[in-house]
Amino acid sequence: MILIGELSLWVALLMAAWGTTAGFAGAYTGRTELQASGERALYAMCGFIVLASLGLWTALVTSDFSFRFVASFTSANLPTPYKLTAFWAGQAGSLLFWALILSLYSAIAVYTGRKSNRELMPWVVPTLSAIALFFILTLCFGANPYERLDFIPLDGRGMNPQLQNPGMAAHPPNLYLGYVATAIPFAYAVAALITRRLDNEWLTSVRRWVLVAWFFNTVGIIIGMWWAYVELGWGGYWAWDPVENASFLPWLVNTAFLHSIMVQEKRGMLRKWNVTLVVSAFLLAILGTFITRSGVISSVHAFAQSSVGYWFLAFLVLAIAVSAYLVATRLRDLEARAELESMVSREASFLFNNLLLVGIAFSILWGTLFPILSEAVRGTKITVGPPFFNQVNIPLGLALLALTGIGPLIAWRRASVPNLKRQFTGPVVIGIVVGALVVALGMRAVHAIIAYALGGFVLATIIQEFQKGIVARHRMYGESFPVALFRLVVRNRRRYGGYIVHVGVVVLFAAFAGLAFKKELDVTLKGGQSYEAVDPYGNHWRFVSQGVSQYEELNRLTTAVLLETWRNGKHVGVIKSEKRQYIDSNKNFTFEPSTEVGIMSGLRQDVYVVLAGTTGDDTAEMRITFNPLVWWVWYGGLIMAIGGLIVTWPQAERRKAQAGYATVLEPQHERARAGA
Amino acid sequence: MTMDRRQFLGRLAASVAVAALPARLAAQQATQGTGAANVPMDEGRYRPVRLPAKSSTPSMTTDARDALEHRIHCMCGCNLDVYTCRTTDFTCPVSPAMHRDVMALVAGGYSAQEIIDAFVNVYGERVLMEPKKEGFNLAGYLAPFVALGAGGGLVIALLRRWRRPAADAATVEPLPVDATPEELAKLEALLKRDDQ
């Protein structure tokens, strides 16, 4: 299997090269046999990439240390699940994984779109093949996972301890699924620009793929935040690290597109803007990969750095040049008759929503790249850390939160004053009440107060929308309220799924605002000693050290401290925090010691204990942090993912309409047959 | 605004300066060394920041000192501040040493700003978690807001431009419609529902 996989990679390279050449030649000359050949080459490439991936997985699971990749990222005593996830623990495997997803997506996109997008497909196929060709070329000549060592070591180096976490089994695949999905809309955009078929039709297919990208990007980012929180041990989940920022940029642009596409669908406006967003999302995904792979900007997440980053830079420059050329030479075809009846309309609010989303994307990109710019201009190295990003993005984020509530309530075309009063009076009052309430409870952080007030306002607008819809169904069809709620969502997935996403956004903002009340304590305790503290809610906590213990388990030596914990005099459990020293099967140390955080989670807050160090006399140095509302981040992400799934799921109405069409036709068909 | 191939290539040539970027990036990468918390720390990055004591009274409380350490970048190669790094990763040899320097300067009566300045003198500006708000750095702080302002201006200008045809259209006499008031009301209701 391994040999088949190794050879398959090279055959896939040939298939991608042929798919690109024959596909472009067929599309340019209009020769259908070349187009068909290119399409078949794409399917074949997908098959061979699958084989190549299976080969690498086999090598990893069987610990074939003759391969540099296997020896570099696994060891014989590594648990099997992590041997499987080692596929994306290093450069070459990650690239193969990217190629695998790209080829599978490409095959699905071409298969499902071959009839509905017949005019565009001749250009979509070679564009996707060309992207795949770049990845496979990089794999074969830049970072080959099948590269063999001159000797076979007895054991491998093992996996970086920070990657031995369930979060790492799910975070990279989801992020890649999101990143790579942007390639399909990009290919459609290229095809639509080349053929000048820039009507709304191509956007229908593109929207579904952008939703796929958005969904996986969301899930990937949230899981990445969870991993950073439980694994890196610094007590937070988002540090405005360059790699984190890179994953956020396509998400922001895709979110902007999912709003602006509605304006194009409803009013035929923003055609140039939507094409630009589709192209930008793909380019930002490549830029993100370049940042991750090149190490050009330091990052705590950059696990696989090498010169391959510069392959991506070259590809990025080429993709920018091609995209810019196509857009610049087709601007006239993208002209649309734009008419706006009022500045106070949903289309106007969506424009401002896009402005903010793209503005935030720009500020993050700018802040991420500013150290390079500063060094180039002034020759001075600087650090652009969280304080910078918070200063710039918190006001923009709050404005975006406000628009999340305002946009959906304003009517298309024109909103009248009575309409605005009717829609906004209740939510505004609720927002003010929430703001006043948190101030009365003692909150003094201005950003947090605004965030909670706006959160109350937005939540009220969403509840109001659901309530209107449910009551309308109850009156019209006599449905019970739960049934009405279910059918309301199922039959208007796009609209109500979107509202559910907005609920997730509100929950996330509430959680982010909770960070303002984080409390950190440095504690040193000997076995049997206790420490008392008051959390941000005023609860009294008591921690009693059970001493430091050391033991060996699986592939590591563990040093742990146990804290018996009481809240307001009631015993609430034991918190265990560890330092782990990983070892190979010969008991040699591998990697630096890593942290395993002890977390006591609750809806209101987490008690987060990091074992910073120990001394020989049973003394542990710890950092204890009270982290308010952290679970709300995960709940918020989950709600967003559920909402995204509802929006992405194919509409039931279409199937139902077809069924109705069939039942109407049947009697006529029968009559016709009877007449005949 | 549409341009032909020649115009496009002309503009593209003007931006060939970008070609210098890889060399610059490569140079930076070469000097950057580790650059991540998941790779071994570089002890050699520590440099002492010491000044003679001004006073025997500490200049600030422990909380204020912790807050000050949140503003100083750990130089081990990670992206964390001194406080977070020293209380998180006991493998880092740099942040505890930087912490000791901060403690000594606090004990010596130096104010937060004086301590920050002392660190900048030794390590350069990159020791700050955010760049100083002066000179070229102002471009860093202001550019997002300038871009947003420009974008906002553009959006408003576009909205005004798009609004004009609709306003003009409103002055045109409507064509007679062959429909009863009930039918028109029904149509209006349908359109409203569609707008929701």
Tens of pLDDT, residue by residue over A340-381, are 777 778 888 888 999 999 999 999 999 988 888 888 888 888
Q: Which residues contact A277 (CB under 8 A, 6 or more apart)?
A: A253, A254, A256, A257, A260
Cα within 13 Å of Cα(A559), Cβ side:
19
Cα separation, A236 vs A239, whole angstroms:
7
Of residues A234, A296, A384, nearest to B140 (C-beta):
A384
Ranges assigned E (strand) in A371-526: 519-526
For residue A533, pLDDT beyond 90? yes
Q: Check whether A22 has a pLDDT greater than 80.
A: yes
Residue appearing with tokens 């600087």: A382
pLDDT along chain B (196 residues), means of 10: 52 44 36 35 74 88 91 87 79 87 94 94 92 88 92 87 61 58 75 61
- The pLDDT of residue A361: 94
Residue A662 has pLDDT above 80, yes or no: no
- Using the beta-carbon criterion (under 8 Å), do A232 and B37 form an inter-chain contact? yes
Considering the domain A517-631 in this protein, what is its CATH number? Answer: 2.60.98
Q: Report residue A332 CA to chain centroid gap.
A: 34
Q: Take residue B129 and report the two structure tokens written for it.
A: 């978690």
Residues of A in contact with B144 (CB under 8 A): 359, 362-363, 366-367, 392, 396
Whether A387 and B71 lie within 8 Å, measured CB to CB? yes
**Beta strand A619-628 with A530-534: parallel, antiparallel or unpaired?**
unpaired
Hey, how many other C-beta atoms are within 10 angstroms of the C-beta on B164? 11
Domain segments of chain A: what residues?
1-159, 415-516+641-649, 517-631
Min Cα–Cα distance to chain A from B186, Å: 17
Whether B84 contacts chain A with CB within 8 A: yes
Q: Which tens digits make up the pLDDT trace of A203-236?
A: 877 888 999 999 999 999 999 999 889 888 878 8
What pLDDT score was predicted for residue A442?
A: 83
Q: Are strands A540-553 and A598-600 parallel, antiparallel or unpaired?
A: unpaired
Q: Does B38 touch chain A (CB under 8 A)?
A: yes
- Chain A: give the shortest CA distance to residue B131, in Å: 6
Q: Residue B130 has which token pair?
A: 């955010």
Are A609 and A599 contacting, i.e. CB atoms less than 8 angstroms apart? yes
- The model's confidence at residue A660, banded by pLDDT at 50, 70 and 90, is very low
Percent of chain A with pLDDT over 70: 93
Q: pLDDT tens digits, residue range A327-337?
A: 888 888 777 66
Please indicate whether, in this complex, the C-beta atoms of A380 and B80 are within 8 angstroms of each other.
Answer: no
CB atoms within 10 A of CB B103: 14
Which of chain B's residues have a Cβ under 8 Å away from the Cβ of A313?
A: 21-22, 25
Mean pLDDT (whole number) for A430-458: 92
Give the A window 518-577 contacts with B, CB below 8 Å: 520, 522
Statement: residue A305 has pLDDT above 90: no
Q: Is the confidence metric ipTM above 0.85 for this complex? A: no
Higher local confidence (pLDDT), A518 or A301: A518
Chain A from 238 to 257: CB within 8 A of any B CB: 239, 241
CA nearest neighbour of A58 among A6, A94, A132, A135: A6
Residue A626 has pLDDT above 60, yes or no: yes
Looking at residue B98, its pLDDT comes to 94
Q: Give the CA distances from residue B129 to residues A371, A524, A601, B62, B81, in Å, rounded to whole numbers and listed in that order.
A: 12, 27, 30, 20, 7
CB contact under 8 A, A381 and B126: yes
Single-letter amino acid, residue B68: L
- What whole-number distance in Å separates Cα of residue A455 and Cα of residue A433? 11
Average pLDDT over residues A490-510: 93
Is A603 an 8 Å CB contact of chain B? Answer: no
More confident residue, A269 or A668: A269
Residue-wise pLDDT for A27-65, tens only, equals 999 888 999 999 999 999 999 999 999 999 999 999 999
* Inter-chain CB proximity A363 and B144 less than 8 Å: yes
pLDDT (tens digit, 9 = 90+) per residue, A568-596? 999 999 999 988 888 877 777 877 778 88
Give the tokens for residue A491. Answer: 């039959």
Is residue A311 scored above 60 in pLDDT?
yes
Comparing A49-63, A159-173, A446-460, the range with the smallest average pLDDT is A159-173
Which of B25, B74, B168 to substitute to test the interface with A, most A CBs within 10 Å?
Answer: B25
Give B 97-126 residues with CB within 8 A of chain A.
Answer: 124-126
pLDDT at A119: 84
Residue B69 is encoded by which pair of tokens? 């350490």
Distance CA B72, CA B117 (A): 11
Does A396 touch chain B if contact means CB atoms closer than 8 Å? yes
DSSP H helices, chain B, are 5-14, 20-32, 62-69, 82-86, 94-107, 112-123, 137-171, 181-195
In 3D, which of A215, A103, A282 has the Cα closest to residue A649?
A215
Q: In chain B, which residues have their Cβ closer than 8 Å to the Cβ of A610?
A: 87-88
Angstrom distances, CA of residue A322 to CA of A134, A190, A319, B147: 15, 9, 5, 25
Q: How confident is the model at residue A295 (pLDDT cuts 50, 70, 90)?
A: low
**Count of other CB atoms within 10 angstroms of residue A567:** 16
Confidence band (pLDDT; 50, 70, 90) for A417?
confident
Closest approach of A200 to chain B, Cα-based (Å): 19
Supply the mean pLDDT for chain A: 86
In chain A, what residues touch B169 (CB-CB under 8 Å)? 339
pLDDT for residue A435: 94
List CB contacts (< 8 A) between B12 and chain A: 321, 324-325
pLDDT confidence of residue A596: 86
A304 Cβ contact list (under 8 Å, min separation 6): A89, A90, A91, A94, A292, A293
Q: Would you place residue A655 in the very low, low, confident or very high pLDDT band (cuts 50, 70, 90)?
A: very low
Is the Cβ–Cβ distance between B22 and A290 less than 8 Å?
A: no
The residues, ordered by sequence, that sit 6+ positions from B159 with a Cβ below 8 Å of its Cβ are A340, A343, A348, A351
For residues B10 and A636, the model is more confident at A636
